[in-house]
A and B are shown apart, each in its own frame.
Chain A
Amino acid sequence: MALRLPRAGLSQVGALAVILLVNWIVSPQFFDIRLQDGRLFGSLIDVLNRGAPVALLSLGMVLVIAMRGIDLSVGAVMAICGAIAASLADSHALPVVLAASLGAGLLCGLWNGILVAVLGIQPIVATLILMVAGRGIAQLITEGRIVTFTSPALAWFGGGSVLGLPTPIVLTLVMLGLTAAIVRGTALGLLIEAAGGNARAAALSGVGTRAITVAVYVWCGLCAGLAGIVAAADILGADANNAGLWLELDAILAVVIGGTSLFGGRFSIPLAVIGALIIQAMNTGILLSGFPPEFNLIVKAVVVLAVLLLQSPRLGLKLGRRKP
């Protein structure tokens, strides 16, 4: 039930299929998958693997946006957590590294949540603070250098595999399942949709909107922390300046493509992940097609516009369709 696609999800799944098809046309070996050294390789696997960080971010972002918030700091939080993981990797045991790194992500989320829910600062401003300060913090941790590590345990998070699937894909699937289970297995999903859809009505119905707001920002920080670990493990180092740079925008885009309104309310976790895959499939496709990378951003914008137009109820009415 948690992974049930709403009817409205057809346009996203359709868009992803079309993009994959276009990728196959420009690059006939796109769907080729081969097994090498016990790990799957191929362009399709690459899309999933490269898309993992944004997909992880979108898992937290979708809940924040459903609560009518936004989190601009996730890219910076990735940088912080990646820097912590890379700095500790060669001197500490893996559990310590993970605990420190994810704990930092959690604290970042808690900070955002308190600014928004307790101090009542507008989310875009509240998270902008950490977006700016976070990169500075990450640079302090790495002392301005690119910190590299050799620990195979941490490297496994980027380059390892489970049953042939690259670890980032597995982590994303696990987190997808975990998020869906927490949100839909408890009453959290209903309460988020009620509070995001009409905060006043929800509060008058006894919904503790403040605690829920803090919780979604904490989860968003945690997801960003994990994405930061994956990104650092992928390059065996932490680059405080570039890790997760602009990924907050991709994550927001993924959520919006996934049909969750920036005005809060109804949300879909699986569709947010599909949104992330749409973005990555386009990136990969443009690389494969041999188009100059300058076109990348423009093509991306056009495809995003197309997906959003497909979802627009106004356009739907014009085309004579009935509202879902």
Chain B
Amino acid sequence: MDPYEDPPLLSLRGFSKSFAGQVALDRVDFMLEAGSIHALLGENGAGKSTLIKTMTGVVPRDAGTLCLGGVEIAPRSAAEATRAGIATVYQEVNLAPNLSVAQNLFLGRQPTRFGFVREREMRRRARALLAEFDIDIDIAAPLGSYSVAIQHIVAIARAVDLSARVLILDEPTASLDAHEVEVLFGVMRKLAARGIGIVFVTHFLDQVYAVCDRITVLRNGRLAGAASAGELPRLDLVRLMLGRELSAATAVRTPAAAGGDVLATFAGFGKAGYVAPFDLTLRAGQVIGLAGLLGSGRTETARLVFGAERADSGAAVVAGRTVELSSPRAALDLGFGYCPEERKTDGIVAELTVRENIVLALQARRGVFNPLSRREQDEIAARFIRLLDIRPPDPERPIGLLSGGNQQKALLARWLATGPRLLILDEPTRGIDVGAHAEIIALIRRLCAEGMALLVVSSELEEIVTYADEVVVLRDRAHVARLSGEAVEVSAILAAIAAESPALRASEAAE
């Protein structure tokens, strides 16, 4: 820091935060200059939302100082932060869709006279406020009748009018189309020109380079790097986010399996607004990796293949027959299994025991009237607890009390118990300790050798290249590259993720 310069608009020093022993933020520094748009980037669990929440006082921090305009502040709630001048607009707009635009803009601070709301005055001010953003809409109409983009701009206008000096936008573009994004960017540039500092959280790299001046990257709760946007090429940015040193990408790679019989083929499979149509062939004894940044469509692809989300285009052929993947139940009957990324919300049933969690999918497939006897359940649970070394080896323990790695193993057991032909693993090694990490990778290799087809979503590129026979790279909700054989290496994946122009879309290839 140049001591002769003015203090930055917002400066955070040594922010730390742990949740129940898990370090979420580790001595993170962050500087925001007045009038700049600053991208805050990082993969899932990197600490972006924790940083924002501790900055705005929603969650108390363990350590660190926060200065706004050179003055130390310590907001203890979002309301206090807003009063101090730090306003946040979340992805899900926190406004009342049933109230009019004007009412939303002045909610809780309506202009009044003798205790009565001055409706006309409020509308005049609302119109004036939105005019600053070149937005001309009927401010008497309910907010919910407008597009998400307009709702976002209304939320921003409200935040800025509450005398914000710092505006935090948490993934505002996630549900906007290209035109709406442009409108939003116009508003952001205007605000920056007025001297407001903007923190922009997103995971679309194109948007970062389109609108941001500076970039700060977090990884695993630490500051991975900060640079001005012009000095940080895409490839370096992706490397910072994923934490890959190319020199380290020398892990032993198993020779690519020739691949057995074709198990399933997906042609032009996709869903509008979810994942662009893609082609995919899954073979017995083969591991296909899905790589890409957060939000690129990896999980979405997995969910489509498993029928958790219904495709609206293309066809799926499994074992020679065209099938309707209309529900997880249908996929289960086809011999598919799916370990979701969000273990706690989509995977485990926390209060049920390890045994009950393990037998759940098998029982669901057998149906209500064909129950597994208690002895069969005990036998299955004991077998998989032994096979996967689930600790503690107590089948009657509620699964919620197990560590992340052991919960993951139990979820794997849930699917292995059904004897699947295809196992879809979404981030199977996320949030689990190193030991369990290695065991799960060894298991992936073993299952593959036994002839199972695997589809693995992972942001651990070094891992993925060691076990995947083929890697599909995704970007902006489309499959953009397919690497196989010798081409499966970290640098190639990184290059494909960082590539600027949209590569060949599968839909075009399908035609």
Contacts and interface: CB of A to CB of B under 8 A. Distances in A.
Interface of A: 1, 185-188, 190-191, 193-194, 197-198, 200-208, 212, 265-266
B356 interface: yes
A200 B345 contact: yes
Contact of B366 (A187, A197, A212): A187
Given A194-B352, A197-B350, A265-B349, A204 B308 contact: yes
A206 B420 CA distance: 13
A229 B51 CA distance: 61
Interface of B: 306, 308, 328-329, 331-333, 338, 340, 345-352, 356, 359-361, 363-372, 374, 414
A241 B99 CA distance: 40
Contacts of A206: 328-329, 331-333, 361, 364-365
Contact of A190 (B346, B351, B360): B360
29 contacts: A186-B369, A186-B371, A187-B366, A187-B368, A187-B370, A190-B359, A190-B363, A190-B371, A191-B364, A193-B349, A193-B356, A194-B349, A194-B352, A194-B356, A197-B351, A197-B352, A198-B349, A201-B348, A202-B349, A202-B364, A204-B347, A205-B332, A205-B360, A206-B331, A207-B360, A208-B329, A212-B368, A266-B351, A266-B352
Interface of B is mostly: helix
A266 B332 CA distance: 25
B417 to A, nearest CB: 11
Contacts of B356: 190, 193-194
B351 A265 contact: yes
A186 B332 contact: no
A207 B306 CA distance: 14
**Which among B338, B356, B360 has the greatest number of chain A C-beta atoms within 10 A?**
B360
Nearest 6 A-B pairs (CB), nearest first?
A: A206-B332, A206-B364, A187-B371, A197-B349, A205-B361, A198-B349
A266 B356 CA distance: 12
Contacts of B306: 204
A201 B351 contact: no
Contact of A198 (B331, B345, B368, B369): B345
Contacts of A203: 308, 328
Contacts of A208: 329, 364
Contact of A187 (B329, B346, B349, B367): B367
Nearest to B331: A206
Contacts of A188: 368
A121 B261 CA distance: 46
B370 A193 contact: no
B461 to A, nearest CB: 26
Contacts of A1: 374
Interface of A is mostly: helix
A206 B345 CA distance: 15
A29 to B, nearest CB: 44
Contacts of A193: 349, 351-352, 356
B371 A185 contact: yes
Nearest to B348: A201
Contact of B414 (A190, A205, A212): A205
B361 to A, nearest CB: 4
B368 A186 contact: yes
Contacts of B369: 186-187
A219 to B, nearest CB: 13
A202 B369 CA distance: 17
Contacts of B360: 190, 194, 202, 205, 207
B376 to A, nearest CB: 11
Contacts of A185: 371
A205 B368 contact: no
Nearest to B332: A206
A200 B371 contact: no
Contacts of B365: 206
A198 B348 CA distance: 8
Contact of B364 (A197, A198, A205, A265): A205
B351 A204 contact: no
A156 B368 CA distance: 35
Contacts of B328: 203-206
A198 B350 contact: yes
Contacts of B308: 203-204
A155 B359 CA distance: 47
Contacts of B345: 198, 200-201
B219 to A, nearest CB: 28
Contact of A200 (B346, B351, B370): B346
A190 B351 CA distance: 12
A208 B345 CA distance: 18
B332 A187 contact: no
**Which among A201, A205, A266 has the greatest number of chain B C-beta atoms within 10 A?**
A205
Contacts of B367: 187
A114 to B, nearest CB: 19
Contact of A201 (B329, B331, B347): B347
Contacts of A266: 351-352
Given A191-B363, A198-B345, A207-B329, 16 more contacts: A187-B372, A190-B359, A190-B363, A197-B350, A200-B345, A200-B346, A201-B347, A201-B348, A204-B328, A204-B338, A204-B340, A204-B346, A205-B364, A205-B414, A206-B328, A206-B365
A202 B331 CA distance: 14
B402 to A, nearest CB: 15
A112 B360 CA distance: 27
Contacts of B372: 187
A283 B113 CA distance: 56
B364 A207 contact: yes
B347 A187 contact: no
Contacts of A212: 368
A178 to B, nearest CB: 16
Contacts of A201: 345-349
A208 B327 CA distance: 10
A279 to B, nearest CB: 26
Nearest to B355: A190
B110 to A, nearest CB: 31
A251 B338 CA distance: 39
B306 to A, nearest CB: 8
Contacts of B359: 190
A185 to B, nearest CB: 7
Contacts of A191: 363-364, 368
Contacts of A204: 306, 308, 328, 338, 340, 346-347
A247 to B, nearest CB: 29
A323 to B, nearest CB: 9
B193 to A, nearest CB: 44
A178 B333 CA distance: 31
Contacts of A265: 349, 351-352
A186 B366 CA distance: 11
Nearest to B330: A206
Nearest to A207: B364
A114 B404 CA distance: 37
A125 B356 CA distance: 32
Contacts of A194: 349, 352, 356, 360
**Which among B306, B349, B414 has the greatest number of chain A C-beta atoms within 10 A?**
B349
